[in-house]
Amino acid sequence: MSSLEDETRQHEYRKHEHWMAQALTLAQEAADAGEVPVGCVLVADGEIIGRGRNSPIEFLDPTAHAEILALRQGAFALGNYRLESATLYCTLEPCPMCAGALVAARIQRLVFGARDLRFGGVRSKFQIADSPLLNHRVEIVEGVLGNESTALLRNFFSQRRQP
């Protein structure tokens, strides 16, 4: 690998870390509200066009996952349900419902922090987002600020288990 390629990769990773840090802030907001700490930002052309944090308890809506909320905002911002040039940054691997929504929205790229070993729809349990069986494949980057995302989830659940 040339030094130019290495520099380009490092620049791309720093950019991913920048956006993921903003998703982590939203995940912390979810935790503070008593929701499972998952946060997302949807980015197109270097701007956030959608934000979401898990809110099913608050909204009394089982589909109010961070990813779905960010996709809805982004589609509204662009005036189009197809988000072909957008990247979704999510602190946790999307579930099957959300992975399907990424495909339906034609998201270009998904960057996520931690794997969801119980319900993951992208890598851990299913490979929906880039399945060759579907009409669209999402580019996937995993592990960006994964330790921070995992720590937030672990802290949240350990506090909930305490009497």
Among candidate residues 144, 128, 138, the one with its CA nearest the CA of residue 90: 144
User: Taking the chain, what is the end-to-end CA distance rounded to the nearest angstrom?
Assistant: 53
Of residues 35, 58, 67, 139, which has the active-site annotation? 67
Sheet with 39-44: strands ordered across:
47-53, 39-44, 87-92, 109-114, 139-142
142 in active site: no
- On whether the CB atoms of residues 24 and 148 are closer than 8 A, the answer is yes
Catalytic site residues? 67
